[in-house]
Structure 1
Amino acid sequence: MDIAGFVTGAGGIAHRQRVLDAGASAAAIRSAVASGAVRRVRRYWVATTAASPDLCAAAEATGRLACVSAARHRGWWMPPDAPGGLHLHVGRGSRSPRGEVTAHWRAPLVPVSAFDLVESVVDTLRHVADCLPRETALVLWESAVRTHRIPLGELTRVRWHSATAAELCAIATGSSGSGIETIFVHRLRPWGLEIRQQVPLAGHDVDTLIGERLVVQLDGFAFHSSSAERTRDLAHDRALMALGYRVLRFSYTEVVYNWPAVEAAIARALAQQLHLQH
């Protein structure tokens, strides 16, 4: 059996028992370690050079990736200014992880296999709710719902044991196409406006539609990887205007770092009733 190949296929790190269950012998594992094909991580894990440093750190601490570390591992959209550092869930009675690690000690809401180094999606949602600023946490919740296609009704039936998680569950929609869209809609929610997201108009979805006629397009942090995309967006804006829609476009930097200017632009449009059908 190609032990290094098996471990690489398992994500670069695997529990020793999984390797044994796949058909390797204990002697073969020892030989692979001795040859440098894999290395031991604590007593029960073996890893290759392809292993994620975060997963190895979780194994070293006898813990699991949690909170923002689990979110990053799963590919949820993460604001560039989101907190860094390693977050681990460790069991009660375990030693505190070494180094600059944020430890989460609460009993998990959902059990996971002893062979897993990442906590459940539900536990990650609870941890980010309790650990991060509310707006940043909502961005991660929306990304999780969209990434994993989680039915909202399923989340409402979870007993969160966290007031913040319950609040986020109540306002999450799964409609946001990006993190910047979540931030924009969240900041406008107190205005009491009718806001729809990802509405198909003129052949493409628009990010947000306020009222009946005011389209707001939001350019993400990594906006436009090619001039062709920019040309397509401008053509879509023109098509919308030809149909009688008013289009406002804001960048990630404007929404996140210059929100008063965005608010002022929206207020001026509303004052002119550009969101209404005439």
Structure 2
Amino acid sequence: MDVVEVLMKLGGVARTRELVAAGASTTALARACNGELVVRASRGVYALPGGNGDLLEARCAGAELSCISAAQQRGLWVLRPPTLLHVSVDHGGLVPSSRLRVHRSKLPLSTLSICVQCARCVPELDALCVIESAVVLGLVDLAELRTVAKSRRAGALRRVIELIDPHSQSILETVARYHLVRAGFTVASQVHVRGVGRIDLFVDGFLGIEADGREFHSERREFEEDRRRWNLLTTRGVPILRVSRNLLVNQPDQFIRLVTTALASHSPQR
């Protein structure tokens, strides 16, 4: 089997034994290296040129990506990229590095195991983003999470599970909902409004929240649709706050003050 093809299937970085097990011969591997199609990154570790840097560093150190670093590699929702590279080893030595945060785990890691690691290791909101996305994307079953959470050491995981909304459509929606619930508001997700579509969040039954991660509108059609929705909601007396990633992630207290003020000024009792 073609070495480059095998490496692509293995994430762009692999050990000799993994390549051979996947059908690549050592002769083909040597030929690929001589042709500069593959790079020998360290003893027994091979990579495609320009491959995944984090995965390469982990495997050169004798480990695998884990926890929040593995979540990022697998496309789960990661709120804040880790400052250290989280890796797992199950046996053998590890090349020491001040850049590594080491977990002891049985390998290979399932997505469920990565979720459990995140619940134990990173702040609650960061863990919620990862675990909720795993549920939303169908990579982890919520019932399976609840089973794992029955163990004595799974208190953090149980707390995160209580916060999960499988209907969430984006990381910013998850972040906004987390802060609103923590502030004591009643929050409904993905509320359908006739003629408008779905609103990300509804607070206390009448204030809509739209979490906008875009810096600008990529298409004129998208811009016009946003304005149509906004105008229709306004004519129906539905107040909407559109909040940015910066506000939600870096200024959550200001976000809550904004919501509190909006609720007070649009209260049906006024």
TM-score band by shorter chain is 0.7 to 0.9
Displacement after TM superposition at 1:149 (Å): 4.9
| Residue matched to 1:115 | none
| Residue matched to 2:78 | 78
What RMSD in Å do the two structures reach over aligned CA positions? 2.8
Structure 2 distance, partners of 1:17, 1:82, is 31
Is 1:259 the counterpart of 2:252 in the alignment?
yes
Determine helix, strand or coil for the equivalent of 1:193. Answer: coil
Is 1:146 the counterpart of 2:136 in the alignment?
yes
| Residue matched to 1:248 | 241
| Residue matched to 2:159 | 167
Return closer, same or farther for 1:242/1:37 CA change in 2, 3 Å cut-off. Answer: same
Return closer, same or farther for 1:258/1:39 CA change in 2, 3 Å cut-off. Answer: closer
| Residue matched to 2:89 | 90
Structure 2 distance, partners of 1:257, 1:176, is 21
Determine helix, strand or coil for the equivalent of 1:84. Answer: coil
1:218 is matched by which residue type in structure 2? A
Structure 2 distance, partners of 1:207, 1:152, is 21
Return closer, same or farther for 1:34/1:257 CA change in 2, 3 Å cut-off. Answer: closer
Determine helix, strand or coil for the equivalent of 1:27. Answer: helix
Gaps of 5+ in 2: none
Structure 2 distance, partners of 1:91, 1:35, is 34
Structure 2 distance, partners of 1:207, 1:35, is 51
Displacement after TM superposition at 1:43 (Å): 5.0
Determine helix, strand or coil for the equivalent of 1:270. Answer: helix
How many residues are aligned here? Answer: 267
Q: Normalising by structure 2, what TM-score?
A: 0.83
Return closer, same or farther for 1:67/1:244 CA change in 2, 3 Å cut-off. Answer: same
Return closer, same or farther for 1:136/1:4 CA change in 2, 3 Å cut-off. Answer: closer
| Residue matched to 2:26 | 26
**Cα offsets for 1:206-226 (capped at 9, x unmatched):** 110123322111212655334
After the TM superposition, which segments of 4 or more aligned residues of structure 1 sit over 6 Å from their partners? none
Structure 1 distance, partners of 2:73, 2:111, is 11
Q: Which structure exhibits the higher relative contact order, with contacts defined as CA atoms closer than 8 Å and separated by 6 or more residues?
A: 1
Equivalences for residues 1-278 of structure 1 within 5 A: 1-79=1-79, 81-105=80-104, 107-108=105-106, 111-112=107-108, 119-159=109-149, 161-201=153-193, 202-220=195-213, 222=215, 224-272=217-265, 274=267
